[in-house]
Amino acid sequence: MDSTPSSSSPSAFDLVSSALGRYIPRGGVAAAPGTADEQVQGDRTARPRAPDDPAAGPQDQILGAVNLDRDLRITRCNLEAPVFAGLDPLPGDPFVDLLPPGDVPTVTRRLRQVLETGEAHVARIQRLRRGDGSELVVSMSILPAAVPQEGLTVSVIAMARRLHLYAAETAIGTSLDIGETAQSLAQSLLAWGDVAAVDLDFAVWTGEGVTDRPHGRIRLRRAALVPDRAWPEGYVTPGDDLPGDASRLLAQAVRRDDAPQAIVIPDREAVERVLGSPRVMRALVPGDRSAGVACIPLVLDGPPPVVLGVAEIWRRADAPFRDSELFDLQELVARTAHHVDLARQHQREHTQVLALQRRLLPRTGGDTIEIASVYQPATPDSAGVGGDWVNSFPLPDGRTALVVGDVVGHGLGAAATMGQLSTEARALLSAGLAPDEVLEHLDATVTLLDDTESGLAAGYSALGSTCCIALYDPVSHRVALSSAGHLPPVLVSPDGRAGPLAVRPHPGLGAEFALREPFDVHTFDAPPGSLLALYTDGLVEDPAVSIDEGIGRLADAVSTVHPWDALQQAARHVVSVLAPVRQRDDVTLLLARMIGYRKGDTSTWRLPARDDAPARARAQVSALLRQWRTRDDTHDNVLLLVSELVTNAVRFATGPITVRLIRAGQGLVCEVGDTGNGRPRVSRGGLLDDGGRGLNIVHRLTTRWGVRWTDTGKVVWAEVAR
């Protein structure tokens, strides 16, 4: 007797469960639905036909149901439709007897979970094992049994080939990860065999373009393999390259007559004849029993068609592939090949952007400064990249540049804008421009990159980007800093005191709505042992607290970093303390520990701009070089270099002249500063010219030289190898 619905509105699961309960006749195993007149017509008895019988006609999805008690044993069932032929459940049998052995633990866990929680598992793809050992792919739902029954109701829908093809294609196209795409394809192919593998051209795996190459140069890598189990030693598993001879054999097999074609090797003996090598057999054949294989090429349509890889489906030799199955396999692989190519293109773009971001990551520092950084993108859908950037690099004159910035938005577009701004900043700083001058150029650049209307339409914008630039001089132990709309850096003094720097606020880059003001330069002392923290707003913003409180928390966290702590580990710890688990914005932190030069490695002299200045400079420098015990040839080169630079300063500039010598690593850096604003240039002088040879001499004596601008003039610097 059917159960009576309660007065309260039943849930959807209750309605389905009740319908399934009515669908299963009382009294054990049910006959197929229909009356006796429908079952017997004249002297012809309707017999269930095997689903693979070509005469069976087109298959529609067929509903079956099995009731289980709390011990997961079958109490009633209806699996008598033709499509379920070969499944032989009996009342009292464990339901797991219908499952492949490898699926028993997972399905048992799901069954017990539904018993305990009452929450259904709906529409999971599952394989059921027939009596002859073959398998049937179904969509299986597990529901609590309808009241007043106890236990479970398991509904199964045997999927028609067309429906399976559609469902498989839909599942395969849900990811742009090439490994996940290959895995989804392999799982779908498993409906036709016992083992499925997908081997991709190595260029596809790495995201490169695939070209038509000679067969002997092809290289295949296993991208997916199902089911997931322990495989024999030597068998190729995901991430492994196929042996070279195996790659060539598969490539030749699917490109017969210069056209990609599916091939079938029916049994183990034929496989051994084709592969011809025990090593290749161990690498490609998934077991010791006799098995056949169908190899289906993944073909990207085009003139000419391009083979992306090969899909292999293995199954027992006593169950050969029929033509209809091969057509279905080829259709599925053909439908999903473009998904593999889309994943390849995404892999290529992602690799390129990550390479860009790695280029922009700070170096570890050098003898005068120690650098550590942490970058965390906001969300996985940003492909691991975003608009935040942090960079540090040594300038040619011995100083170190520290740069942090933030482009509005996430993803590849923001990363491209970030890369352009970061590269421009580096080029301008290396050319000797001051931080405020660099920000002026970046401000002009962002107005060219975006306009107000199109800025955020693509999810990112250069307008409103923020940037902070700091230049550390390891000789004077001072930092010059400029900021465009960025949050103030945090400075920790050697005695442990920490706090944000009093940097005058300024609108972001390209802020046309604001009054255009010049960028300020903030200069402060950073003695050895100081720690400077540059960051983006994602690290300190929290809806529950003010931004000032967030910056204060950062200062407290950074102040706990001990001078002897490993700086990279300390940076990760600070981010883990401050950044929320579910962050809304990219998080970036740069820590810079100031070391500087020792007093004995530098010396500075101030000389009046008189005719005797070159001689006085040579005398001072010569005495210092003897003290440093430099080689004779280096000694002579430095003296000549100083003489030429000071002479030029006396001739073309006014005011006092500053000479500074620095012993840095494997070289000596000589700096001559004056009050002139002209830019020295190397000229091609003639043999009889009276002047113009000084910078040519400087150019030939040095490994590199350049000019940087100061508030009072310029500094010409040059480096000589020791």
What would the DSSP string read from start to end of 129-195?
E-TTS-EEEEEEEEEEPPTT--SEEEEEEEPPHHHHHHHHHHHHTT---HHHHHHHHHHHHGGGSSE
Res 300: pLDDT: 78
- Which token pair is 149? 């029954």
Using DSSP's 3-state secondary structure scheme, residue 328 falls into: helix
The answer as to whether 710 is a domain residue is: yes
Predicted confidence (pLDDT) per residue in 89-118, tens digit:
889 999 999 988 878 888 898 899 999 888
Asked whether the CA dihedral 159, 161, 166, 172 is positive or negative, the reply is positive
Indicate whether 301 and 198 sit together in one domain: yes
Q: Say yes or no to pLDDT of 161 above 60.
A: no
Q: Say yes or no to pLDDT of 18 above 60.
A: no
pTM of the model: 0.55
- Gap between the Cα atoms of 392 and 371, Å rounded: 8
CB contact set of 410 (below 8 Å; sequence gap of 6+)? 377, 378, 379, 382, 385, 386, 387, 459, 460, 586
The answer as to whether 32 is a domain residue is: yes
Indicate whether 658 and 555 sit together in one domain: no
Radius of gyration of the chain (CA): 37
- Gap between the Cα atoms of 556 and 492, Å rounded: 10
In 644-685, beta strands by DSSP E = 657-664, 667-674
Res 210: pLDDT: 63
Could you tell me which of 575, 531, 534 has the C-alpha nearest to residue 370?
A: 531
Average pLDDT over residues 564-591: 82
Res 60: pLDDT: 47
- Which token pair is 219? 């290289």
Q: Say yes or no to pLDDT of 220 above 70.
A: yes
Using DSSP's 3-state secondary structure scheme, residue 417 falls into: helix
- Tell me the pLDDT band of 336, cut-offs 50, 70 and 90: confident
> How remote is the C-alpha of 230 from its chain's centroid?
29
What distances in angstroms separate CA 663 from CA 596, 599, 671, 701, 714, one per listed residue?
12, 10, 12, 17, 21
Question: Residue 609 is part of which domain span?
Answer: 601-721
Indicate whether 200 and 259 sit together in one domain: yes
Q: Which residues of 656-693 are buried (b: 16+ CB within 10 A; e: fewer)?
A: bbbbbbbbbeebbbbbbbbbbeeebeeeeeeeeeeeee
Could you tell me which of 712, 643, 648, 655 has the C-alpha nearest to residue 680?
A: 648
Q: Strand pairing of 522-525 and 460-473? A: unpaired
What distances in angstroms separate CA 539 from CA 403, 547, 578, 693, one per listed residue?
16, 10, 6, 54
Could you tell me which of 513, 522, 418 has the C-alpha nearest to residue 465?
A: 418
Residue after which a domain boundary falls, among 569, 594, 619:
594
Indicate whether 288 and 400 sit together in one domain: no
Indicate whether 319 and 262 sit together in one domain: yes
- Tell me the pLDDT band of 36, cut-offs 50, 70 and 90: very low
Q: 478 has which bridge partners?
A: 473, 525
Q: Say yes or no to pLDDT of 423 above 70.
A: yes
Res 357: pLDDT: 60
The answer as to whether 503 is a domain residue is: yes
Predicted confidence (pLDDT) per residue in 142-152, tens digit:
988 877 778 89
Could you tell me which of 230, 216, 232 has the C-alpha nearest to residue 279?
A: 232
Query: Which CATH number do you get for residue 223?
Result: 3.30.450.40
- Gap between the Cα atoms of 211 and 308, Å rounded: 10
Instruction: Report yes or no: 608 and 407 within 8 Å, Cβ to Cβ.
Output: no
The answer as to whether 208 is a domain residue is: yes
CB contact set of 257 (below 8 Å; sequence gap of 6+)? none
CB contact set of 200 (below 8 Å; sequence gap of 6+)? 178, 182, 220, 221, 223, 298, 308, 309, 340
Res 178: pLDDT: 78
Indicate whether 279 and 395 sit together in one domain: no
> How remote is the C-alpha of 12 from its chain's centroid?
41
The answer as to whether 625 is a domain residue is: yes
Indicate whether 615 and 579 sit together in one domain: no
Query: Which CATH number do you get for residue 588?
Result: 3.60.40.10
The answer as to whether 5 is a domain residue is: no
Indicate whether 589 and 607 sit together in one domain: no
Asked whether the CA dihedral 36, 41, 45, 50 is positive or negative, the reply is negative
Res 533: pLDDT: 94
Q: Say yes or no to pLDDT of 612 above 60.
A: yes
Give the amino acid at 567: L
- Gap between the Cα atoms of 591 and 366, Å rounded: 14
Instruction: Report yes or no: 476 and 537 within 8 Å, Cβ to Cβ.
Output: no
Indicate whether 568 and 633 sit together in one domain: no
In 548-642, beta strands by DSSP E = 587-594, 602-607
The answer as to whether 201 is a domain residue is: yes
Terminal alpha carbon distance of the chain? 101
Q: Say yes or no to pLDDT of 491 above 90.
A: yes
Tallying the residues shown for the chain, one arrives at: 722
Instruction: Report yes or no: 405 and 421 within 8 Å, Cβ to Cβ.
Output: yes
Query: Which CATH number do you get for residue 82?
Result: 3.30.450.20
Instruction: Report yes or no: 24 and 67 within 8 Å, Cβ to Cβ.
Output: yes
- Gap between the Cα atoms of 706 and 658, Å rounded: 16
Res 3: pLDDT: 41
Q: How many domains does the chain have?
A: 4
- Tell me the pLDDT band of 350, cut-offs 50, 70 and 90: low
Q: What percent of the chain has pLDDT over 90?
A: 16
What distances in angstroms separate CA 182 from CA 79, 355, 589, one per listed residue?
33, 24, 36
Winning range, highest mean pLDDT, from 68-72, 255-259, 332-336, 655-659:
68-72
Residue after which a domain boundary falls, among 539, 570, 594:
594
Lowest mean pLDDT among 257-271, 405-419, 594-608, 663-677: 405-419
Predicted confidence (pLDDT) per residue in 495-523, tens digit:
889 999 988 878 888 765 555 678 889 99
Indicate whether 320 and 295 sit together in one domain: yes
Indicate whether 463 and 542 sit together in one domain: yes
Indicate whether 705 and 612 sit together in one domain: yes
Predicted confidence (pLDDT) per residue in 533-574, tens digit:
999 888 888 777 888 898 999 999 999 998 888 899 999 999
Residue after which a domain boundary falls, among 351, 369, 401:
351
Could you tell me which of 321, 31, 376, 361 has the C-alpha nearest to residue 194?
A: 321
- Which token pair is 249? 């054999």
- Gap between the Cα atoms of 501 and 491, Å rounded: 7
The answer as to whether 640 is a domain residue is: yes
